[in-house]
Structure 1
Amino acid sequence: MNFKNGIILRLAVILIFAGLISCNEPKTKSANPRVLISSDIGGTDPDDFQSMIHLLMYADQFQIEGLVSSPYGEGNVQDFQDMIDLYEKDYSQLLDAAEFPTPESLREITRQGGKDAAPFKGHTSSTEGSEWIITCAKKESDQPLWVLVWGGIEDLAQALHDAPEIKENIRVYWIGGPNKKWSINAYSYIAEHHPDLWMIEANATYRGWFMDQDSPEELKGDAFYDNYIQGRGALGKEFIKYYEGNIKMGDTPSLVYLMNGNPDDPTGESWGGSFEKVGYSPKKVFYAGSSITDTVAAYATIEWRFEGPEIDVPEDSVVFEIEIQNQTWPGYYLGKGIFGVKYASKKPEKGYYRTKSTIPEIDGLEGAYISTTPWPGKASPDDFKLGSNWYSDRVNAELFIKDQQGAKTISKYRKEFLTDWAERWKWLEK
């Protein structure tokens, strides 16, 4: 072997060895987590507008890949666009402080999701929103997509139905509680058919964000606007329109969960709460009704099934109504003379129901139930069995605020996260 050939051989060996090393090294992760927001902004609760303002003011800390409008009734993707218009007015000042995404880049990722609750089976047909969840989840990346659900979970349920393989690429933080009550059919579908989903189900913990009886006076919900927001930017002028500027922002814990602590460990400490694994989601099926002696866990899936005549309508058709706690819910024909409806209480309660239908056998049925904490309560044969990555509110009684389970795992950080936000509002001072 001559000298030249020897040098070439040595270089080839070095390059091959270097290539082997680089293939075995972990990929360098991007600094900012990937997030997709599914929100009922413009729907039943104006606190999503407050949470959206918070998100925009921290947009430099995330890769925002989707803004999906998933309201009940009123509200649509234009509500996102309106908030981005305000952000655009403050953009230059924010950009002086950090690297923020352009308003146009945010407009391009807004999508319209479902506007109605799912039927009994828990899914219907795809929407722009559900398809965008799938698209983002399938994007090649070195980190998971965090799907932060601020309202109904229908679009996520539809995405999982249409492309169940995305479970490997997503992590979900859902603000449940009242949203679970409205989305109980979609939730039940996910719990039954996708129990291996990586899920934080926050039914009560999130309330620690705005239950502020132990907060310093200057940070209380009715004082924070006057002290830190008023007169600061277009976003500050907008904030007063929701709850008269009082801090609620019940969906924001899902976001700050990614800003503080280790998001890979829900059992650890975080501004967005601390959670524990749950091996089952409680469910109770009542055949022919229930009474005030029947007890279920708060946030559990309650299902009533009533016998009646066989009727010539497609299964999953709405054929009766049920009034529970002064709210009306659709009831469905399940086939073979069976009629059914699902419900979930948003807190511990003594509840009553009454049915209404043109079908005599299903009309005027009355009953009751009692829901209690802590969730998930005692296991039963009806429960949904969950996988190893489903987390929910801590059961320790010392972490309750009043009847809200786990809320103190967030409220104890109130001074830290609101002080941090107050500093950002200074960026918008003239």
Structure 2
Amino acid sequence: MICNKSILLAFVGIFIFFGSSSCQAQLNESAKPRVIVSSDIGGTDPDDFQSMIHLMMYSDLFQLEGLVSSPFGDGTKKDFLDMIDIYEKDYKQLLPNAPELPTPKSLREITKQGQKDAAPFKGHTTPTEGSEWIIACAKKKSDQPLWIMVWGGIEDLAQALHDAPEIKESIRVYWIGGPNKKWSINAYSYIAEHHPDLWMIEANATYRGWFMDNDSPNDLKGNAYYENYIQGRGELGKDFIKYYDGNIKMGDTPSLAYLMNGDPNNPTGESWGGSFEKIHRSSRNVFKGGSSLQDTVAAYATVEWRFIGPEISVPEDSVVFQIEVQNQTWPGYYMGDGVYGVRYSSKKPEQGSYKTSSSIAELDGLEGSYISTVPWPGKATADDYQLGPNWYSDRQNPALFIEDQQGAKTISKYRKEFLMDWAERWKWLEK
């Protein structure tokens, strides 16, 4: 009996040991942040290719659940797939140092096509493969949130929230705004107005600390890092030189770096991806009949012009005029009852002007101006979108600006630490 009892206890001990190891493995796996990246890769700015290279080289640190192509311009999910093909060529060499890197096959399986066009005035259209994937991932049972890193247009997130608003309970968003907000202003306005309780980091300028390298050591400056730490290292290194001649930009990477260092549950703390402050309103200015240089708005604010014209027999949200602002053109919409509207957001402080064009005489040739200033969100107005308790944005302290870029020093201070960490991974691809 003593012998049998000893055997039984030994067996139980072995079971507990292996059971604990298995549970620990699951715990470690679940501790990895769940991530979907929505990117305009292949669109108007090639820096997303640089950020994608960085993402793949660090993908062992995350549960990567989706790669959604949400471009403006010519990009499609094929641009993601092309980058995965390059990653596959370096995969075996990377693996000994990071055995939990996802397989190229698994990355291809989670790559989805999102919305290719900017949302109309109402801020949403029809579901896409990408928006439906966001919903499906958000609805998975998990003890941690799904982080949605938006590197471009926010249309697919807006569509997902429209179609399944309950996912707000399960997601957290880090959006690289600024220029992306300008192009995605209708989708953004929909989210701010109808989903103000979203957990959101809106980085309109902070991210620029990633590539504004005024205070960097010479070997880490954007035009030197490639030669010093990337050149000659793997197929990914060969590809990197194709974008900005290898100069470091990677303006979307701070969203991922936010999860790599610091406490992501506390946006007001310190991290590689910046430090932010809570905002309770999103600046919005509605100008009925136009604006002039007497009108000052906050940079990154929603600027909405409304004009009066004839009542016409077209569906609401039809594009019936255009507005040119700062040498770029946006569609203007019929809102019904003889009211016409268009939105814009400046990506920086500026003195701007606009001019409309239309086959409708009353909407043709209207001109005006405005001035946008920092800090965001500026002075309160009755038109502002009122936000919930978990919306964060760039810090307003002037000491944290780089030139006119609000909050950028909260990232630039970690530039050396981050880039040297990445340099260690590039060593894995040395021959």
Q: Deviations over 1:327-370 (max 9, x none)?
A: 00000000000000000000000000000000000100000000
Alignment partner, residue 73 of structure 2: 73
- Partner secondary structure for residue 258 of structure 1: helix
1: CA distance, partners of 2:73 / 2:424: 36
Question: Which amino acid is the alignment partner of residue 240 of structure 1?
Answer: I
Runs of 5+ in structure 1 lacking a partner?
A: 1-26
Inter-partner Cα distance in structure 2 for 1:339 and 1:73: 26
Which residue is 2:340 aligned to? 339
The equivalent of 1:39 in structure 2 is 39
Residue in structure 2 matched with residue 425 of structure 1 by the alignment: 426
Secondary structure in 2 aligned to 1:351? strand
Aligned counterparts of 2:31 and 2:162: Cα–Cα separation in 1:
31
Distance 2:181 2:87 in 1: 30
Match of 1:48 in 2: 48
Instruction: Show the 5 A alignment for 1:127-146.
Output: 127-146=128-147
Structure 2 letter corresponding to 1:195:
P
Deviations 1:282-313 (A, max 9, x none): 00000000001100000000000000000000
Q: How far off its partner does 1:382 sit?
A: 0.2
What are the Cα deviations for residues 393-418 of structure 1, in whole angstroms up to 9, with x where unaligned?
Answer: 00000000000000000000011000
Contact 2:42 2:73 in 1 (8 A): no
What per-residue deviation string (whole Å, max 9, x for no partner) do you get for residues 145-194 of structure 1? 00000000000000000000000000000000000000000000000000
State the distance in 2 between where 1:380 and 1:293 align. Answer: 16
Per-residue Cα deviation, 1:209-267 (whole angstroms, up to 9, x for no partner): 00001001100000000000001001000000000000000000000000000000000
Aligned to 1:159: 160
1:88 is matched with 88
Quote the offset at 1:142 in angstroms. 1.0
* Partner Cα separation in structure 2 for residue 242 and residue 214 of structure 1: 23
CA distance in 2, matches of 1:60, 1:421: 13
Task: Tell me if the contact between 2:41 and 2:48 (Cα under 8 Å) persists in the aligned partners.
Answer: yes
Structure 1 residue ranges, 4+ long, deviating more than 2 angstroms after superposition = none
Gaps of at least 5 residues in structure 2 are: 1-25
How many residues align structurally? 404
Which residue number in structure 1 is paired with residue 314 of structure 2?
Answer: 313
SS of residue matched to 1:97: coil
Distance 1:257 1:72 in 2: 25
1:192 aligns with 2:158: no
One-letter amino acid of the structure 1 residue matched with residue 333 of structure 2: Y
Deviation for aligned residue 1:378: 1.1
Q: Which residue matches 1:322?
A: 323
CA distance in 2, matches of 1:244, 1:34: 32
d(CA) in 2 for partners of 1:141, 1:88? 29
The corresponding residue for 1:273 is: 274
Distance (whole Å) between structure 2 residues aligned to residue 239 and residue 309 of structure 1: 53
- The superposition leaves residues 94-120 of structure 1 with CA deviations (integer Å, 9 ceiling, x where unpaired) of 101012110000000000000000000
User: 2:138 corresponds to which letter in structure 1?
Assistant: A
- Distance, in Å, in 2 between the alignment partners of 1:152 and 1:396 is 28
AA paired with 2:217? P
**Normalised TM-score (structure 1):** 0.93
Match of 1:206 in 2: 207
1:100 aligns with 2:101: yes
Matched, 1:414 2:415: yes
* One-letter identity of the residue aligned with 2:418: F
How far residue 389 of structure 1 moved from its aligned partner, in angstroms, is: 0.1
How many Å separate the matches in 1 of 2:407 and 2:92?
39
Q: Name the CA distance, whole Å, in 1 between partners of 2:166 and 2:148.
A: 15
Q: 1:168 aligns to what?
A: 169
User: What's the secondary structure of 2:96's corresponding residue?
Assistant: helix
Compute the displacement of 1:31 (Å).
2.5
CA distance in 2, matches of 1:73, 1:252: 21
The amino acid that maps onto 1:39 is: S
Secondary structure at 2:191's aligned position in 1?
A: helix
Report the AA paired with residue 336 of structure 1.
Answer: D
Q: Deviations over 1:103-147 (max 9, x none)?
A: 000000000000000000000000000000000000111110000
Cα distance, 1:28 vs. partner?
A: 4.8
Distance in 2 of aligned mates of 1:354 and 1:177: 22
Return the offset for 1:390.
0.1
CA displacement 1:55-91 (0-9 Å, x = unmatched)? 0000110000000000013000000000000100000
Output one character per residue of 1:1-56: Cα deviation in whole Å (capped at 9) or x when no partner: xxxxxxxxxxxxxxxxxxxxxxxxxx957221000000000000000000000000
CA distance in 1, matches of 2:45, 2:292: 31
Does structure 1 residue 366 correspond to structure 2 residue 349? Answer: no
Give percent identity, aligned residues only. Answer: 79
Return the letter of the residue paired with 1:281.
S
3-state secondary structure, aligned to 1:48 = helix
Amino acid aligned to 1:238:
D
Residue 350 of structure 1 corresponds to 351
What secondary structure, in the 3-state scheme, does the structure 2 residue paired with 1:51 have?
helix
Give 2:389's aligned amino acid: S
Counterpart residue number, 1:400 = 401
Q: Distance in 2 between matches of 1:296 and 1:59?
A: 40
TM-score normalised according to structure 2 size: 0.93
2:218 equivalent to 1:217: yes
Give the conservation status (yes or no) of the 8 Å contact 2:39–2:68: yes
Cα RMSD (Å) of the superposition?
0.8
